[in-house]
Amino acid sequence: MPTPPQAIGFTLDPLDRVSEKRDDETFVAGLRDDPATRFLLFVNNVPLFKRANGHDPLFGASEAAALGAPLQTVFLGRDADRRALFAHSFDGQMQSLPEVEAVELRPIAMQDLVSAPLVSALGEARSMLDWHGRHRFCANCGQPTDSAGAGWRRICPNCKAQHFPRVDPVVIMLVTDGERCLLGRQPQFLPGMYSALAGFVEPGETFEHAVYREVLEEAGLRCTDVRYHASQPWPFPSSLMIGCFARAATTDITVDRNELEDARWFTREEVGAMLDGTHEQGLSAPKPFAIAHHLLKAFATRAWD
Ligand SMILES: [Zn+2]
């Protein structure tokens, strides 16, 4: 399996998902009852951590059981030591434990508060538990559905439809004209921060077409020569960021003010200063856990031009 570029958040999945055994109930139950097995615990999609031990999200079976019966369980996989990892979700009614705290996954990932492989496992778990929470009823007939396949699908007992967890592809693209790149600002960004443009892939589109369309819609630019760079699972709730470069075919920018507060061209030197935190006007770029940072870094260092 190719190694993803180091330090992009959520890309260092440490688990063998053993997907071919998910329907083997004896196998899955054996792992769940194994004393070595660990559990990631979520309350309303927020992971729990042991206070005593930095930010440790790994709980034993008895610690997990102290919270009561989970709403949902997913078998995530086995680590390099063949130790199984499961995820449990609870609602706000579960037992609260004084030695445990809930912290949103995004700041945990941004601040490197747990190891990169564990951040990836937490992301996998968050996406899966969020999906279960939103898909309790059959999209086909409206009846309640049941979890199956160790938590990797839901089945409707009424119409027999099977429902599978979804991933939403998002293109994120750095458009360059050779020496400059196009960056935009969304109103909710931190003051002074600019990033690569991005948007959801629509049905019937290739990644390339989604890049052409989004750049034209958001910045009024035509582009060409779309190249794939790297991807990133983004578990808020279930996106897959597809990082691309593209070549500008036109350079006059018309900003879509419904989507962006601003968009403009930046030189390599400016981008380097934004990544280093030394930009003269105090402008900044996303941190290394975001794939946009890696697109910008590849451009600034001429790893891609
Ligand atoms: Zn149904």
CATH number at residue 270: 3.90.79.10
Ligand 1 centroid to residue 152 C-alpha, Å: 17
Nearest partner of 208 among 183, 237, 235, 242, judged by Cα: 242
Nearest to 7 by CA among 303, 292, 300: 292
User: Do 32 and 77 fall within a single domain?
Assistant: yes
Residues 148 and 120 in one domain: no
With cut-offs at 50, 70 and 90, classify the pLDDT of residue 184.
very high
What spacing in Å lies between the alpha carbon of 299 and ligand 1's midpoint? Answer: 49
Nearest to 289 by CA among 247, 236, 249, 246: 236
Last residue of a domain, one of 166, 189, 223: 166
Q: Do β-strands 168-176 and 197-200 pair in parallel, antiparallel, or remain unpaired?
A: antiparallel
Output the CA 255–ligand 1 centroid distance in Å.
44
Q: What pLDDT score does 6 carry?
A: 56
| In-domain check, residue 8 | no
- Segment 60-78 shows an average pLDDT of 94
Given a cut of 80, is residue 98 above it in pLDDT? no
182 and 293 in a common domain? yes
Q: Are residues 212 and 294 in the same domain?
A: yes
Domain with 234 in it: 168-300
Last residue of a domain, one of 66, 101, 127: 127
Task: Evaluate whether residue 10 is within a structural domain.
Answer: no
Place of tokens 């989604």: 210
Tell whether 192 and 288 lie within a shared domain.
yes
- In this structure, the answer to whether residues 28 and 140 fall within a common structural domain is no
- Whether pTM exceeds 0.85: yes
Residue finishing a domain among 99, 127, 155: 127
Q: Are residues 40 and 93 in the same domain?
A: yes
Instruction: Report how many domains make up the chain.
Output: 3
In the reported structure, the alpha carbon of residue 78 is separated from the centroid of ligand 1 by a whole-number distance in angstroms of 32
CATH code of the domain containing 118: 3.90.79
What distance in angstroms lies between residue 164's CA and the mean position of ligand 1's atoms? 13
Q: Is residue 154, in this structure, part of any structural domain at all?
A: yes
Length, in residues, of the chain? 305
Ligand 1 centroid to Cα of residue 159, in Å, is 4
**Does residue 96 belong to any structural domain of this protein?**
yes
Distance 303 CA to ligand 1 centre (A): 50
Provide the pLDDT confidence category of residue 3 given band limits of 50, 70 and 90: very low
Find the 41 Cα to ligand 1 centroid distance in Å: 29
- Domain assignment present for residue 183? The answer is yes
CA of 155 to the centre of ligand 1 (A): 8
Residue 114 lies in a domain: yes
Residue 52 confidence (pLDDT) above 90: no
Same domain? For 40 and 104 the reply is yes
pLDDT score of 305: 59
Same domain, 174 and 273: yes
Q: Read off the pLDDT band of 54 (50, 70, 90).
A: confident
Shared-domain flag, residues 184 and 289: yes
pLDDT of residue 65 exceeding 70? yes
Give the distance (Å) from ligand 1 centre to CA of residue 153: 13
Structure tokens at 290: 């975001």
Which pLDDT value is given to residue 2?
Answer: 44
Residue 2 domain-assigned (yes or no): no
Lowest mean pLDDT among 37-46, 74-83, 93-102, 211-220: 93-102
CA of 133 to the centre of ligand 1 (A): 17
- What digits encode the pLDDT tens for the residues 158-180? 999 999 999 999 999 999 998 99
pLDDT tens per residue across span 234-284 = 999 999 999 999 999 999 999 999 999 999 999 999 999 999 999 999 999
Same domain for 157 and 185? no
- The CA 131 to ligand 1 mean position distance, Å, reads 17
Between the CA of 148 and the centroid of ligand 1 the distance, in Å, is 14
| pLDDT class of 91 with cuts at 50, 70, 90 | confident
Q: How far is the CA of 145 from the centre of ligand 1 (A)?
A: 7
* pLDDT over threshold 60, residue 4: no
Considering the chain, what percentage of its residues have pLDDT values greater than 70?
97
Q: How far is the CA of 91 from the centre of ligand 1 (A)?
A: 25
pLDDT of 25 above 90: yes
Residue 158 and residue 173 in one domain: no
Q: Is residue 118 part of a domain?
A: yes
| Nearby residues for ligand 1 (ion, Cβ within 5 Å) | 138, 140-141, 156, 158-159, 161
Who wins on pLDDT, 113 or 129?
Answer: 129
Q: How far is the CA of 193 from the centre of ligand 1 (A)?
A: 46
For the cut 50, the answer to whether the pLDDT of residue 1 exceeds it is no
Cα–Cα dist 58/188, whole Å:
33
Give the distance (Å) from ligand 1 centre to CA of residue 146.
10
